[in-house]
Amino acid sequence: MSFSYQNNTLHADSVAIPELVDTYGSPLYVYSRTDIENNWREFDQAFGTHPHLVCYAVKANSNLAVLNVLAKIGAGFDIVSIGELERVLAAGGTANKCVFSGVAKTAIEIERALEVGVRCFNVESASELNRIESVARSVGKQAPISIRVNPNVDAKTHPYISTGLKENKFGVDMNEALDLYQHIQHSEHLTVQGLDCHIGSQITDVSPFLDALDKVLTLLDQLNTHNINIQHLDLGGGVGINYEGEETINIQAYIDAIISKVGQTEIILEPGRAIVGNAGIFITKVEFLKQNSTHAFAIVNGAMNDLLRPSFYNAYHQVLPINKTSTGTQANWNLVGPICETGDFLAKNRDLSLSEGDYLALMSTGAYGFTMSSNYNSRPRVAEVMVSNTSHQLIRKRETVQDLFAGECLYE
């Protein structure tokens, strides 16, 4: 892990965070290139010689520099929109290493994906399959298809990020899949590519993954008996990270378990959070301290629009002082932002010693941090910086107030 204290000052790799704040201001997202590369390589190398492709889930962090770093070391990408596809291409990624997920691809998205030649479409319904077939017909191409099945397993994670249960909108029923594959097999404009599932996110126990795999393998056998030959199995993303000291999945053991079950079938994984989550932090400044008879509030300059996870999922991010020796008021603080919502908090009940003007780091915010940010309360989105050893570089400039309404005009 690249974020650590050196002489009581938090560093990213060998760069002191105060230097980044002086250079780029705050609030600020900071990513470690080293961590991103190491995290992806851990997945990639765990497969050894087994055929595989580790497709980074772009939604976790779609900054071009992040995608470029991953493209350079051979990553594939899991995309869910034309926006993500164009980002990957602009960052030097290759289309034939992209799997196109998502429940409702538009005709324009499908046409573009066919034009650039994505590896496959992960399809989530009969209607979507029909749409892809008709677009492929109209442009005279064959669309490579994986059906995303819903294995109906409980991922035991937050209900908002659980996707593999029957009550979720994702995937098709296992017993519907054969019909869809038979349709693909007989279509001039569709080809069978793979079989896909994704059961949820921030999963910290390997057993739901292996339960889902067993169900998918039963289906694979059934497809084989109908001469439907699957080129790859895509087991989705979802590997959890350590936010709060929780036990996480041993990636080598997870991948060994997969390999032991699948023979020579190529495996695709779609990790997002596990690649970038712990590789990023969010820096915010304490503006004011405000205590009443029951609560201590540290009002910081970052808010729910910059980092939504705490408000949206009640997610926990560790809070660390940038300067460990700074002395201030010791209390059990709630870190709240400047937005006019009671739900605007970044952390609750943290024992910290704080002064106005201190800087704090919210740890493990590299995934679903910036990508879920918004302009709510007309707040410009923050800058992003990448660090590598002793160097650092701005990878997204802070938005200006003019940027906020650049696309708007008065009604004439």
Question: How many binding residues for ligand LLP (CB under 6 A)?
Answer: 22
Position 317 contacts ligand LLP (CB under 6 A): no
Which of 2, 146, 201, 278 is in the footprint of ligand LLP by CB under 6 A?
A: 201
Whichever of 101 and 265 has its CB closer to ligand LLP, that residue is: 101
CB of 294 to ligand LLP, least distance (A): 30
Angle of helix 107-116 versus helix 126-138 axis, rounded to 10? 60
Whichever of 79 and 385 has its CB closer to ligand LLP, that residue is: 79
Whichever of 165 and 372 has its CB closer to ligand LLP, that residue is: 372
Which of 84, 128, 270, 358 is in the footprint of ligand LLP by CB under 6 A?
A: 270
Position 78 contacts ligand LLP (CB under 6 A): yes
Q: Is 368 annotated as a binding residue?
A: yes
Q: Which of residues 9-38 bind ligand LLP (CB under 6 A)?
A: none
Q: Is 238 annotated as a binding residue?
A: yes
CB of 369 to ligand LLP, least distance (A): 8
Position 198 contacts ligand LLP (CB under 6 A): yes
Which of 273, 285, 350, 379 is in the footprint of ligand LLP by CB under 6 A?
A: 273
Amino acid at 44: D
Q: Is 244 annotated as a binding residue?
A: no
Which of 66, 143, 274, 319 is in the footprint of ligand LLP by CB under 6 A?
A: 274
CB of 121 to ligand LLP, least distance (A): 12
Q: Is 271 annotated as a binding residue?
A: yes
Q: Is 270 annotated as a binding residue?
A: yes
Which residues, listed in sequence order, are joined to residue 299 by a DSSP beta bridge?
Answer: 288, 336
Position 60 contacts ligand LLP (CB under 6 A): yes
How far apart CA 282 and CA 361 sit, in angstroms, is: 6
Which of 194, 238, 310, 366 is in the footprint of ligand LLP by CB under 6 A?
A: 238
Amino acid at 302: G
Position 124 contacts ligand LLP (CB under 6 A): no
Annotated catalytic residue, options 98, 120, 197, 340: 340
CB of 332 to ligand LLP, least distance (A): 25
Evaluate the omega torsion of the peptide bond into residue 27 and state whether it is cis, within 30 degrees of 0: yes
Annotated active-site residue 340? The verdict is: yes
Q: Which two tokens stand for residue 58?
A: 């772009």
Position 101 contacts ligand LLP (CB under 6 A): yes
Place of tokens 């770093």: 69
Position 57 contacts ligand LLP (CB under 6 A): yes
Provide the annotated active-site residues: 340
Binding residues, by number, are 238, 270-273, 309, 313, 341, 368
Where does this chain bind ligand LLP (CB under 6 A)? 57, 60, 78, 101, 161, 198, 201-202, 236-239, 270-274, 309, 313, 367-368, 372
Residue ranges of the binding site for substrate? 273, 309, 313, 341, 368
